Amino acid sequence: MTFTARYDGTCAAECGDRIHPGDHVRYVDDQLVHVGCFPKDDEPEPRPTCPNCFTEIALNGACSCAS
């Protein structure tokens, strides 16, 4: 559910920008985020796969052949 912010706040999503009254926002885990910053349908991003070892590449860039 989206609504219009009534108070200043801070976006809890990655953008980290201020939320101003009148902005379209919604709650994610009880924290306000801009509607545009909301991750779509809570679906995790598909992770890239290493072309050499075919394991998912971790956030730090590590895969099975890098260890």
Q: Would you tell me which residues interact with Zn ion (CB under 5 A)?
A: 11, 13, 15, 34, 37, 50, 52-53, 63, 65
Quick one: 44 or 61, whose CB is closer to Zn ion? Answer: 61
State the nearest-atom distance from the C-beta of 11 to Zn ion, in Å: 3
Quick one: 44 or 52, whose CB is closer to Zn ion? Answer: 52
- Residue 2 pairs with which residues in a beta bridge? 26
State the nearest-atom distance from the C-beta of 14 to Zn ion, in Å: 7
